[in-house]
């Protein structure tokens, strides 16, 4: 082992043990030495008479507000909104972040062109090592939009009808391991289940059948690329997690290449997402290469993995906290599907409107992606302010979803709020768990099918309660805000 590799291991071990706050601190010291002095030399000049957004002052040089933000980002942003209004800038780790808070100012991000507010500049360093080259944020946005269109073709109703059956079957199989009653880690269970269901629905039966413990570990190593460390530390560092991620990327692609080749060689065509990609062509007639298909398959799985498992877990805790609501959801299963609860059908799934509203309300209070980010490439005007190039422009669904001015009883979990008129009518970007504009999520319908099918099955199998009435806190140290101590009490229904 070289000295370089050894120092990488030491740094990584330190990073793994640190909370976000300490990680930011440690990283800052490192980055300070490498880049800060250089950056200072190129510091932007404020040009002309442009009025810049209010900047929250900080007495901590370079680190700025990283510690306060890392500890409680939502509280930090809500206080900033109260004090400074809907456009506010602050510094963290030498970077300036400008948040557009509330529906009106968020419009700037969602209506912008990618050349002006750029996604690749902020996301590619995380996603390209995981998905690979030639897809998503590694390619110019018009090409990624073509790839999104191909994926959308595969996310159609005919496929969803088959997915419902498959997801119900996988859920039954997975939860056989839970006993008659006990305390269980709901988040862990749903994370494991969602890899299985997503792999079967989005990758196809061949790849799902290879998903054993070794492959699950490869996914976990690949997923280990989505960390604060990967976002903050330079990609060339010899960190063990970076090396595990890169090895897993190669191994998983090898598996996918074999399956893609078989599909290309087969006499008869299947009818699923993989087949859609094998048959897809760009506007200029070029088919996708094996490497592009493999990268898109990885992207499909991971884009939905944490988002859907976190949302499903939070929904479980909301239902466990409100036993009467849980009962109403169970009764709805009987009313819509039949007293003896036969296997689910896609058409019934649509009619499970209370379950639908519970999911919608979960996504309001716990949207898994708490911040969408872009790099300002050109000056951007919002209200009376000009955001200069170089700022990281952000919109937070979590903040928009609970603004006092927009939502009544804003912190209450109340799925019935959607029964009456749209509570946020007229505010286009007040509810944005799936984003909006050119970067909008293509997985919304699939996520609804997946989560509603899983919860329909779970409501039929179990009753749920909180452990000693404790509702989990939000864990802000992970990139997606997961429940802390996600333990739930289950009792088999029959």
Annotated binding-site residues for heme read: 441
Q: How many CA atoms lie within 13 A of 348 on its CB side?
A: 16
Q: Does 474 bind ligand HEM (CB under 6 A)?
A: no
Rg over CA atoms, the chain: 23
By beta-carbon proximity to ligand HEM, the closer residue of 225 and 433 is 433
Hey, which residues between 382 and 441 contact ligand HEM (CB under 6 A)? 433-435, 439, 441
Rounded least distance, CB 433 to ligand HEM, Å: 5
The interface with ligand HEM within residues 296-315 (CB under 6 A) comprises 300, 303-304, 307-308, 311
Contact 340, 292 (CB under 8 A): no
Residue 56 or 376: which CB sits closer to ligand HEM? 376
Residue in 443, 472, 483, 486 binding ligand HEM, rule: CB under 6 A: 443
Q: How far is the CB of 245 from ligand HEM (least distance, A)?
A: 20
Where is 382: in which H helix or E strand? strand 380-382
For ligand HEM, the closer of residues 159 and 245 by Cβ is 159
- Measured from the CB atom, the residue of 147 and 386 that comes closer to ligand HEM is 147
375 binds ligand HEM (CB under 6 A): no
Nearer to ligand HEM, 11 or 364 (CB): 364
Of 21, 14, 12, give the one whose Cα is nearest residue 477.
21
Would you say 56 or 148 has its CB closer to ligand HEM?
148
Q: What token pair was written down for 25?
A: 């601190």
Integer Cα distance of 78 and 67 in angstroms:
16
Sign of the CA dihedral with 356 first, then 359, 365, and 368 last: negative
CB of 119 to ligand HEM, least distance (A): 5
Q: Give 143's contacts (C-beta < 8 A, 6+ positions apart).
A: 282
**CA pair distance 440, 94, nearest whole angstrom:** 29
Angstrom distance (rounded) from CA 205 to CA 271: 11
| Number of neighbours of residue 192 by Cβ within 10 angstroms | 14
363 CB-near residues (< 8 Å, 6+ apart): 311, 433
Stretch that binds ligand HEM, among 182-190, 207-215, 280-288, 442-450 (CB under 6 A): 442-450
* Under 8 Å between Cβ of 126 and 231: yes
Binding to ligand HEM by residue 105, rule CB under 6 A? no
CB 287 within 8 A of CB 280: yes
As measured in angstroms, the least distance from the Cβ of 302 to ligand HEM is: 9
Q: Is 446 in the site for ligand HEM (CB under 6 A)?
A: yes
Is 326 among the residues that bind ligand HEM (CB under 6 A)? no
- Cα 194 from Cα 312, distance rounded (Å): 10
31 vs 392 by CB, closer to ligand HEM: 392
List the x/- string, 254-293, binding to ligand HEM by CB under 6 A.
Answer: ----------------------------------------
* Binding annotation: 441
Beta carbons within 10 angstroms of residue 262's beta carbon: 10
Which residues on adjacent β-strands are paired with residue 182? 490
Q: At what angle do helices 3-17 and 240-265 cross, to 10 degrees?
A: 90
Number of residue whose CB is nearest ligand HEM: 443
The nearest distance, CB 418 to ligand HEM, in angstroms, is 17
Q: Is 119 in the site for ligand HEM (CB under 6 A)?
A: yes
What string marks each residue from 343 to 372 as x (binds ligand HEM by CB under 6 A) or -?
-------------------------xx--x
**Does the footprint of ligand HEM cover residue 233 (CB under 6 A)?**
no
Other beta carbons within 10 angstroms of residue 81's beta carbon come to: 19
Q: Which residues bind to ligand HEM, rule: CB under 6 A?
A: 119, 148, 300, 303-304, 307-308, 311, 368-369, 372, 433-435, 439, 441-443, 446-447
């Amino acid at each position: 082992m070289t000295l370089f590799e050894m120092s990488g291991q030491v740094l990584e071990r330190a990073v793994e043990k640190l909370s976000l706050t300490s990680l930011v601190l440690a990283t800052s010291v490192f980055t300070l030495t490498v880049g800060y002095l250089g950056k200072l030399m190129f510091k932007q000049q404020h040009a002309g008479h442009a009025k810049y957004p209010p900047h929250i002052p900080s007495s901590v040089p370079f680190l700025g507000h990283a510690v306060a933000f890392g500890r409680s980002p939502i509280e930090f942003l809500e206080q900033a909104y109260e004090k400074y209004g809907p456009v506010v800038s602050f510094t963290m780790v030498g970077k300036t972040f400008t948040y557009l808070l509330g529906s009106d100012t968020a419009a700037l991000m969602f209506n912008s062109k990618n050349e002006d507010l750029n996604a690749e500049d902020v996301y590619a360093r995380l996603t390209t090592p995981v998905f690979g080259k030639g897809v998503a944020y590694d390619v110019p946005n018009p090409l990624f939009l073509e790839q999104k269109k191909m994926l959308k073709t595969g996310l159609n109703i005919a496929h969803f009808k088959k997915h419902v059956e498959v997801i119900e079957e996988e859920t039954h199989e997975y939860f056989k391991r839970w006993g008659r009653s006990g305390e269980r880690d709901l988040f862990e269970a749903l994370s494991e289940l969602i890899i299985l269901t997503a792999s079967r629905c989005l990758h196809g039966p061949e790849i799902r059948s290879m998903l054993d413990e070794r492959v699950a570990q490869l996914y976990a190593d690949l997923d280990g690329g989505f960390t604060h460390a990967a976002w903050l530390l330079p990609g060339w560092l010899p960190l063990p997690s970076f090396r595990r991620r890169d090895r897993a990327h190669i191994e998983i692609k090898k598996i996918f290449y074999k399956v893609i080749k078989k599909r290309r060689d087969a006499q008869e065509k299947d009818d699923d997402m993989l087949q859609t990609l094998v048959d897809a062509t760009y506007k200029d007639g070029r088919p996708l290469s094996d490497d592009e298909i493999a990268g898109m398959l990885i992207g499909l799985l991971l884009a939905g993995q944490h988002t859907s498992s976190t949302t499903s877990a939070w929904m479980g805790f909301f239902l466990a906290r409100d036993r009467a609501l849980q009962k109403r959801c169970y009764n709805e299963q009987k009313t819509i599907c039949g007293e003896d609860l036969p296997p689910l059908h896609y058409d019934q799934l649509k009619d499970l409107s209370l379950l639908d509203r519970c999911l919608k309300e979960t996504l309001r209070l716990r949207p898994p992606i708490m911040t969408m980010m872009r790099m300002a490439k050109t000056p951007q005007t919002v209200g009376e302010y000009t955001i200069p190039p170089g700022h990281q422009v952000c919109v937070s669904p979590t903040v928009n979803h609970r603004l006092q001015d927009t939502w009544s009883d804003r912190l209450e979990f109340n799925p019935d709020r959607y029964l009456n008129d749209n509570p946020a009518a007229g505010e286009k970007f007040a509810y944005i768990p799936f984003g909006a504009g050119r970067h909008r999520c293509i997985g919304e319908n699939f996520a609804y099918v997946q989560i509603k099918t899983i919860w329909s099955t779970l409501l039929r199998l179990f009753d749920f309660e909180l452990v000693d009435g404790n509702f989990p806190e939000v864990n802000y140290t992970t990139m997606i805000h997961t429940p802390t101590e996600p333990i739930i009490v289950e009792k088999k229904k029959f």
